Structure 1
Amino acid sequence: MSPATSLEVSWYWDWVPGGEDAAAWTGYVSRLLEDWAGAKVAAARTGQDFPFTTGAMGEAVAEALLQRAGSVPDNCRLLWGAGFVNEDVRWLPLLILVEFRPARPGDSSYLMAEVGADGLADDIREPQVEYVTTDRGDGVRVVALAESEGEGLHARVNAALRLQRPGRTDVDVLLSTRVKGMDKAGAIGAGVEVAMHEIASQAGELRFGDTT
């Protein structure tokens, strides 16, 4: 019997900026893609009709992300990222829509309904519910296999976090993403949890959802 192979999965997340930073950010994304996938793209181009470069791919990815970020509501921001398996980039780009709301006074249990903890109409499997504790508050993460006419078979991840900010108003943060592919579906829940911890670590810097 062959020994089991250990796979290490890691994640990168960052905010898609506003339009005023678009030019500098586009170059940044191109450099990231060169670091992550430059060798693979160069190998694909060797002796083959593969017209793409990491620079062109980075520009295309950045343009699409900026366009998407420009269309979200004012109380939302877009996280983009990548998933790595044994330090090799596997899933790119990944997107999470992040909504910021003034925390509803009292019990935060209403967030369970917001994330579909008991299931949503398109779910075809019972949701997996995991509770998450961060340095700035507790949250919940829900993963479910779903199917819809527009998206086909996919996994949904919905999460919520009551972000505690001493001396300032707490904020309810809701995260949502959809992915296709069973390998990605099996891993994305952990990726969203990493994003929750990163948002919590930025609690003192975030300005979306402020009421003070």
Structure 2
Amino acid sequence: MTRLSILASLCLCLGLAAQDARSFKELSQGEPGCPRVDDSSVGAHRQTGARPLMDAASDEVIAKGARRSAAAFGVLDIDGNLQTVGQMKGNIVAIGFWSTRCEPSMKMLQEFRNFQQQASAKGMKIVLWPVHFEHWPEVMGFLRAKKQYFDGVQVKRLALGEHGLNILTDELNALPTVYLVDKDGNIAATWSGFHQNLLLQRINRLLVER
């Protein structure tokens, strides 16, 4: 049995492996979220019987006085350069955790790619970090295979230690999961699964905050 057929048979998210030859249109069908066992493995995407997380997302954001800091959280680019939320002060930061093996992640990744392009073109104070846990060769191979959908997307890898996931949460229960950070570096909203236009709605709310 080939590696592709093994992945296809084990992957929870509609049986789609990272290098699936099917079109992105077919990837648009599926569950709102892909569960995950822990923050260091893609194993939950292959766990028999695991159930998707159904997130009750709303338009609400956390009240300003109740937000906690995410300043120490960091990500790495493919060259190993570290960026932290604290360095982005003055910008709204969207942190989206995703996997090449998760169908809803594909929709989130495309949304982040579009936002990245628009924010850059218009000089908007918005930073978007699509963050993965996988090895760089696997992720870059996936992006090359799906170039027509994700060309130009700037993906990041999770930093560790003092800049790691524990800054945001004790446990990441599903992919994709998004954390939205305000201009002061505080967590303003979080949700799991892909929800059409929710990222846009919440960013717009944070843009008008004083």
Pairwise TM-score range, normalised by the shorter structure: under 0.3
> Structure 1-normalised TM-score?
0.27
- Greater RCO, CA 8 A, separation 6+: 2
Q: Which has the larger radius of gyration?
A: 1
Taking structure 2 as the reference length, the TM-score comes to: 0.27
Q: Which has the higher strand share?
A: 1
